């Protein structure tokens, strides 16, 4: 539990970041890279092992709100406050595609996952999704080596016209389900307080999990059927699918705005204002 390395960018705030995936057969030190998005619309790639900034790109004219690596680590996808999504090459620094489907609403999530090449009847070895603050989720199939990017599905979730009792609307969040291929999980402001499981094959919601409040953060465990949800009411909920009983933990003193499982799924990080807690998942 010690600070290993620190990067500082003057006069800019870091809005989002993502670790570069580690290729199979690659030593850990060779793939220790982080991409970070900033309030001036720039993206910076940092090498942890060499403790230096390797690349700076400027694909956006507004603040970044989401960033992610492709599953092979060769592409960076970024979303801005204006709803535009940029596709950039972190080796050359070039941005070669801009998607405006979510234009006008800030991007809240970008996430990538692997797929079989002809899954869902479309080419590509990768699925990725973009979620915007207006409760819309777009799902794409891509093959960046062939410059192919095809819209696979478009989701819009209803909400009441007036948010009673809410001074700030909860974010729209979506994530691919690690234990259910072709399914994504969505939480956000809506008609009910719930987590929705949507099947890309059936084109419909196949499962719902009732929540006590609207979610502020979401993370799905890559190693077990667990999802973690953070709430503005200073609560963290850990739940094993829809059938399992929920486990609630009130350890934070402010809204839990970030939940994140480690790649092994053994630990969970949660953040609230100036608090960062580390949880260990016990076997049950």
Query: How far is residue 194's CA from residue 147's CA, in Å, rounded to a whole number?
Result: 37
By C-alpha distance, which of 68, 74, 43 is closest to 144?
74
Q: Confidence class of residue 281 from pLDDT cuts 50, 70 and 90?
A: confident
Are 47 and 74 in contact by the 8 Å Cβ rule? The answer is: no
Task: Write the pLDDT tens digit of every residue in 169-220.
Answer: 899 999 999 999 999 999 999 999 999 999 999 999 999 999 999 999 999 9
Q: What is the dihedral of CA 62, 176, 236, 132, to 10 degrees?
A: 30
- The 10 Å CB-count burial string (b at 16+, else e) for 225-244 is bbbbbbbbebbbbbbeeeee
Q: Which CATH superfamily is domain 11-20+34-156 in?
A: YVTN repeat-like/Quinoprotein amine dehydrogenase (2.130.10.10)
Query: How far is residue 83's CA from residue 80's CA, in Å, rounded to a whole number?
Result: 5
Are 196 and 253 in contact by the 8 Å Cβ rule? The answer is: no
Q: Return the residue matching tokens 């500082």.
A: 8
Residues 6+ apart with CB under 8 A from 243: none
- Domain ranges (residues) in the chain: 11-20+34-156
Are 34 and 48 in contact by the 8 Å Cβ rule? The answer is: yes
pLDDT at 239: 92
Q: Confidence class of residue 241 from pLDDT cuts 50, 70 and 90?
A: confident
Task: Write the pLDDT tens digit of every residue in 85-100.
Answer: 999 999 999 999 999 9
pLDDT at 97: 96
pLDDT over 60 (residue 27): no
Residues 6+ apart with CB under 8 A from 140: 127, 128, 129, 130, 149, 150, 151, 152
Q: Return the residue matching tokens 């010690």.
A: 2
pLDDT at 161: 84
Q: Confidence class of residue 55 from pLDDT cuts 50, 70 and 90?
A: very high
By C-alpha distance, which of 208, 211, 133, 213 is closest to 165?
213
Query: How far is residue 107's CA from residue 203's CA, in Å, rounded to a whole number?
Result: 23
């Amino acid at each position: 539990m010690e600070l290993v390395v620190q990067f500082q960018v003057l006069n800019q705030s870091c809005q989002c970041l993502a670790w570069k995936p580690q290729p199979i057969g690659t030593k850990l030190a060779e793939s220790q890279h982080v991409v970070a998005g900033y309030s001036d619309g720039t993206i910076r790639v940092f090498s942890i092992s060499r403790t230096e900034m390797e690349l700076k790109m400027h694909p956006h004219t507004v603040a970044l709100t989401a960033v992610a690596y492709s599953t092979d680590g060769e592409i960076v996808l970024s979303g801005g406050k204006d709803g535009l999504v940029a596709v950039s090459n972190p080796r050359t620094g070039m941005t070669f595609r801009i998607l405006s489907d979510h234009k006008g609403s800030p991007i809240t999530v970008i996430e990538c996952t692997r797929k079989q090449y002809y899954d869902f009847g479309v080419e590509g070895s990768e699925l990725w999704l973009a979620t915007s603050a207006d409760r819309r989720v777009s799902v794409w199939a891509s093959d960046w080596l062939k410059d192919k990017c095809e819209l696979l599905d478009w989701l819009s979730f209803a909400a009441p016209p007036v948010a009673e009792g809410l001074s700030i609307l909860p974010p729209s969040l979506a994530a691919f389900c690690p234990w259910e291929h072709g399914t994504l999980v969505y939480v956000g402001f809506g008609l009910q307080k719930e987590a929705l499981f949507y099947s890309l094959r059936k084109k419909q919601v196949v499962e719902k999990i009732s929540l006590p409040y609207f979610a502020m953060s979401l993370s799905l465990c890559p190693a077990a059927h667990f999802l973690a949800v953070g709430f503005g009411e200073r609560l963290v909920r850990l739940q094993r699918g829809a059938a399992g009983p929920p486990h609630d933990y009130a350890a934070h003193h402010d809204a839990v705005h970030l939940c994140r499982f480690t790649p092994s799924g053994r630990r969970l990080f949660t953040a609230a204002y100036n608090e960062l807690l580390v949880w260990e998942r016990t076997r049950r």
